[in-house]
Amino acid sequence: MNEKPLVPDTKKIPNELKLRLQGKLDKFEKFDGQNGPIYESLIILPAPNEYSSPYRFSVKSDRQIDKQGASVDIVVTIKSRYWKHNTSGKVNYTPELWLDAA
């Protein structure tokens, strides 16, 4: 199903934030974006101990990562989206995780 390897040989680039996630693909949704389809996948990581809840991350990509329920090992890039609130005018910077294209 996957054409490209999901865990690339990453090169260190200044000011580029990358994160490796190992977990289970719980579910995904496909949206029509301006430049083609966008997939938003929910990745659940194991809980760090028996008293904690598992971590959940939403990862966006231009392709389907894997099938639902699959174990995944991926590298994501942390990006920030700038947007301004319509009524208050407050500027917001929302972090987003995107599947690394390398």
Closest CA to 72 of 2, 9, 13, 11: 2
Q: Residue 13: which pLDDT band, with cuts at 50, 70 and 90?
A: low
Tell me what pLDDT residue 1 has. Answer: 45
pTM: 0.75
User: In the chain, what percentage of residues exceed pLDDT 70?
Assistant: 84
Contact by Cβ (8 Å): 93, 80 = yes
Give the number of C-alpha atoms closer than 13 A to the C-alpha of residue 93, restricted to the C-beta side. Answer: 3
Domains and CATH numbers, the chain: 18-99 (2.40.50.140)
CB atoms within 10 A of CB 89: 7
